[in-house]
Amino acid sequence: MECEVGMNDMRDPAPWQKRYEKMLVFALLFGLVSQYLFVGAPAGISVMVFILGFYGLFFYSIKGRLGGFEKWQGQARSGWLLFIPIFLLALTYALYANNLFRQLNMFALYALIVSQTVLMTRSSTKPWYRGVFYVELLFLALVKPLAFISVPFTLLNDRIRGKESIAFKKSKFGKIAIGLLLSAPILIVVVSLLASADEIFLSWLIEIPDVFSRFSIGDGIWRIIVAAFFAFYAFCYIWGLLFSKLSEKASGPAADPQAAALKQNERIELDPITACTLLISINLVYVLFVAIQFSYLFGAAGGMLPDGAAYAEYARRGFAELILVALINVVLLLCGLHIIRRTSAAAEWVRKLALTVLIGCTIVMLVSAYSRLSLYEEAYGFTETRLLVHGFMLYLGVLFAIALLRIWKEHFSMGKAYICVSIIAFVIMNYLNLDARIAAQNIDRFERSGNIDIAYLGTLSTDAAPELLKLQAKHPKLAGLSEAIDTLQRQAQQSSKWQSWNLSKQRAK
């Protein structure tokens, strides 16, 4: 008896180990629900349902532990805070219809969810505001799950061979659930084949409330592929988090102070005199440029152009170059903060002053670029690209302001601030309702100048429909306007499935 108990303890080392099979069952259900949400239905409110389903699987799987048999010591607060941008970005699929942000948000949501789950399970020992943390994220999200691709099949094989635990063996619900899940993909393929081969069988299926009538071999196979991808990736990714405890090797730098010191000395460092000379030389050019900007550039924004300069050409040739210079200055700033060797107090003061002048000149350049782009928009109208550039310039301005604070406060974490500001800025851009703003700005310009590109407005998403309807109420005979509104309304009616419900499309209907 004692021997039998000992063997059972070895086979069942932790009480929650019995949850593995249920975790796989829930992952398969998650895959089936995912294909139902997205195959043949554009993303809408389904994104929110999908994310809620994933978090249900995630929290069930990680409840009470971290990294195999080790106890879960708690979650990072920053991980919980990421729920805010994740929820807001997922909600945009039900509120807006801007195609650019719908594409970008797929990658943003994936990156945020991976970051959050790694933080909450403490699967990385690296600080989240360091670049090495994001290298580790790529490994945990894209490479690590591949190492566990055989685990689901092992669990299924153990179930089929009767190696399941006694408690789960007696569960009728468990047996029924696994049987249904295993039969579901086979049934989809078989029914699709039969419906394609026999019209009478297909006619019988059509009498069943419009469920199987749309099935085809290709559609059934595609649904199986999508369901399998979501199910197995979610399972293997979470499994990787459960068993991805990263520990420092004894032979690492931390165990050898001398090696750590040598590694520190291998850092690339610029002599402070050389670096300050470089910065001062560049700043002299920037200060001269800024002086010229104050003398006529901002006057030009009010209509006072330099002699011989055409209005459109002046605006067109300005902002792109200034943005490029600002990006170059970002590199200079980072080098000035991190690779200049620290020596005397006087040299430090010169370094900080030179970097401050660099930032001040760059902010003036951004203001100049902003005004030039405004001139261009007034002449040629507002587009998505131009408004995005406006937002990017404001974003750069905030980053440079943060860098200015970092120059004079050595212990201020610029990395943390940059990551937080970037996430907030991206969420704000999603909620600015860009297409509606484009339409509104072009309509305001039309009221002032009489110029408007209706054909372009017709290429926007249904977010622009309310503004175009207001314009139609004021100018019902405006050429091309009715056609543009009809295009947006047809776009809104393309999918009537509940998974694709979207407030913007609903309003356009």
Q: Find residue 71's DSSP bridge partners.
A: 65
Q: Is residue 390 in some structural domain?
A: yes
The 10 Å Cβ neighbour count of residue 153 is 11
Residue 326's nearest CA partner among 425, 417, 392, 407 is: 392
Helix (H) or strand (E) holding 103: helix 99-120
Kindly state whether residues 316 and 276 are assigned to the same domain.
yes
Residue carrying the six token digits 């991808």: 229
Helix (H) or strand (E) holding 174: helix 172-197
Q: How much is the pLDDT for 425?
A: 93
Q: How much is the pLDDT for 166?
A: 47
Q: Is residue 257 in some structural domain?
A: no
Q: Write out the residue range of the structural domain in which residue 406 sits.
A: 272-432
**Which tens digits make up the pLDDT trace of 169-214?**
445 555 555 555 655 665 565 456 545 544 445 555 555 545 444 5
DSSP secondary structure string, 314-376?
Answer: HHHTTHHHHHHHHHHHHHHHHHHHHSBPP--HHHHHHHHHHHHHHHHHHHHHHHHHHHHHHHH
- Which residues 6+ apart lie within 8 Å of 378 measured at CB? 445
Asked which of 432, 455, 479 is the last residue of a domain, the reply is: 432
Q: Any idea what DSSP says for residue 67?
A: S
Look at residue 17 and tell me whether its pLDDT is greater than 90. no
Least confident of 6-20, 211-225, 282-296: 6-20
Q: How far is C-alpha 305 from the chain's CA centre?
A: 42
For residue 31, give the amino acid letter: G
Higher pLDDT: 427 or 68? It is 427
Q: Give the CA distances from residue 453 to residues 243, 316, 472, 479, 491, in Å, rounded to whole numbers and listed in that order.
A: 57, 19, 14, 10, 20
Q: How much is the pLDDT for 164?
A: 46
Q: Do residues 436 and 464 lie in contact, with contact meaning Cβ atoms separated by under 8 Å? A: yes
Kindly state whether residues 141 and 19 are assigned to the same domain.
yes
Q: How much is the pLDDT for 15?
A: 45
Answer whether 0.85 is exceeded by the pTM: no
Q: Any idea what DSSP says for residue 123?
A: -
Kindly state whether residues 43 and 97 are assigned to the same domain.
yes
Kindly state whether residues 67 and 183 are assigned to the same domain.
yes
**Which tens digits make up the pLDDT trace of 364-404?**
888 878 887 887 788 788 888 888 888 998 999 999 999 98
Crossing angle (nearest 10°) for helices 19-38 and 151-160: 120
Q: How confident is the model at residue 265 (pLDDT cuts 50, 70, 90)?
A: very low
Q: How much is the pLDDT for 478?
A: 85
Q: Do residues 435 and 95 lie in contact, with contact meaning Cβ atoms separated by under 8 Å? A: no
Q: How confident is the model at residue 429 (pLDDT cuts 50, 70, 90)?
A: very high
Q: How much is the pLDDT for 395?
A: 92
Kindly state whether residues 81 and 141 are assigned to the same domain.
yes
Q: Work out the average pLDDT over 456-482.
A: 87
Distance CA 494, CA 506 (A): 11
Kindly state whether residues 311 and 227 are assigned to the same domain.
no
Q: How much is the pLDDT for 213?
A: 46
Q: Is residue 9 in some structural domain?
A: no
Q: Is residue 251 in some structural domain?
A: no
Q: How much is the pLDDT for 197?
A: 46
Q: Is residue 258 in some structural domain?
A: no
Q: What is the torsion angle, in degrees rounded to the nearest 10, for the CA atoms of residue 327, residue 378, residue 307 and residue 361?
A: -30
Q: What is the torsion angle, in degrees rounded to the nearest 10, for the CA atoms of residue 313, residue 314, residue 320 and residue 326?
A: 170
Higher pLDDT: 260 or 330? It is 330
Q: How much is the pLDDT for 192?
A: 64
Q: Is residue 232 in some structural domain?
A: yes
**Which tens digits make up the pLDDT trace of 229-256?**
888 888 888 888 887 543 333 333 444 4
Q: How confident is the model at residue 68 (pLDDT cuts 50, 70, 90)?
A: very low
Distance CA 435, CA 117 (A): 33
Least confident of 30-34, 113-117, 337-341: 337-341
Asked which of 378, 400, 432 is the last residue of a domain, the reply is: 432
Least confident of 128-132, 235-239, 443-447: 128-132
Kindly state whether residues 27 and 156 are assigned to the same domain.
yes
Least confident of 42-51, 63-72, 454-463: 63-72
Domain count, the chain: 3
Look at residue 5 and tell me whether its pLDDT is greater than 50. no
Kindly state whether residues 289 and 232 are assigned to the same domain.
no
Q: How confident is the model at residue 321 (pLDDT cuts 50, 70, 90)?
A: low
Provide, rounded to the nearest whole percent, the portion of the chain with pLDDT above 70.
Answer: 69
Kindly state whether residues 89 and 203 are assigned to the same domain.
yes
Look at residue 53 and tell me whether its pLDDT is greater than 50. yes
The 10 Å Cβ neighbour count of residue 318 is 19
Look at residue 105 and tell me whether its pLDDT is greater than 60. yes
Residue-averaged pLDDT of the chain:
74
Kindly state whether residues 229 and 331 are assigned to the same domain.
no
Q: How confident is the model at residue 107 (pLDDT cuts 50, 70, 90)?
A: very high
Kindly state whether residues 478 and 493 are assigned to the same domain.
yes
Kindly state whether residues 136 and 230 are assigned to the same domain.
yes
